[in-house]
Structure 1
């Protein structure tokens, strides 16, 4: 049973039975994440972001390039620097309110955001978020891709396996070759 503020990742098909509940399902075709249930989502992020905002990666990329799910925290009175992302972003406003200002056909479009709203920012769409002095905002953000995460040649197990004082990462003679993945979708 899930409670308010929780999130989950399911590899493959599943059924969901909910009463008097609201949520959002975000999916990337062909990707199989690791089963997990997390939360409740914290109030502020643990990592520094931009312009006094913070974030926490809730669902980590299993491999570099995989999708991830983040909590974004916008403090009261923030006016972010305009920016873009190389892929689409889906967002769910968890709490608070703010404004998304997006460049659309050469003009700025202002969208008021409040708890429960879902939005999409398309790849390379120039935008920024702002909050009023008395309002902070928390957003659940889905990234369909990432530029971080482990690879076959760079992950904690291989990096921190030491043979005679040397990381196994650099010892080609003992490294597993081929596709070590048990299951691909």
Structure 2
């Protein structure tokens, strides 16, 4: 079975976006940006909800071609374009950049994808990840916690019907007092 990981930047009070979808608080250091880039390079497939897809696809396909693009930006943009992606949406009609669109039941499709052979999968987008979380499909949670309280917005975690017991497998501190924690779900 393929491993499914939910990994996102998070404020200390548990939000992946502040009110108004503001992400200004989560600008990564060079070291953290490289960590995210290396992660994308190792990901066998990324699963996106519509809103995160719209954010990523509006920037990364051309980010590496901008006049001010750094070598790190060029590298990440290429990795992102090349990475196989699945977008789950009932309103999106077209996708590009090595991406497939799924309009049906997300939990059914994620279950099918996990049963396939292949590399690890990442899931992103609060609504999509919440559905997978409630269905018990997430194998690993990675929080990259920034030392800021945003007071509201889009939460990382959703309400659950049952507890999910976790084992801590990694911690790492990045510049700007950003803390990575990685947990595996106990099965």
For the aligned pair, the TM-score class normalised by the smaller chain equals: under 0.3
Structure 1 length as normaliser, TM-score? 0.23
More strand per residue:
1
RCO higher in structure (CA 8 A, sep ≥6) = 2
- Give the structure with the larger helix fraction: 2
